[in-house]
Amino acid sequence: KLPLESIQVVLEELRKNGNLEWLDKNKTSFLIMWRRPEEWGKLIYQWVSKNGLTNSVFTLYELASGDDTQNEEFHGLDEAMLLRALQALQQEHKAEIITLDDGRGVKFF
């Protein structure tokens, strides 16, 4: 058991490192992330590059749950975190999130 002040110090360190995001302004609810979105994005892009899949379009389902990604660390990644990872890649101009007829997808560059 930690005193409240110690808990706040730990949470602030996690936030500074990018592994925690506050979900409300009162700082009563938060998301702890095993990997930062940028780290997930890097893993995804490494897989895309390694397999020669740049200039390809994938649905979010294909990335997170498809047979081709079954042995990858990002397989089974929550859709919200997957989107954050893809947004990080989009900021680096390595991907573009697109809207498809049946949901969202991504094109890699």
| pLDDT tens, position by position, 19-34 | 999 999 999 999 999 9
Written as six digits, the tokens of 82 are 């997957």
Over range 1-8, report the average pLDDT: 94
Domain ranges of the chain: 1-34, 37-108
Question: What's the CATH number for 37-108?
Answer: 1.10.10.10
Written as six digits, the tokens of 13 are 């360190």
**Which residues does 39 contact at the CB level (< 8 Å), separation at least 6?**
none
Over range 3-27, report the average pLDDT: 95
Q: Predicted confidence band at 75 (pLDDT cuts at 50, 70, 90)? A: very high
User: Rounded distance, CA 99 to CA 21, Å?
Assistant: 26
pLDDT for 103 equals 86
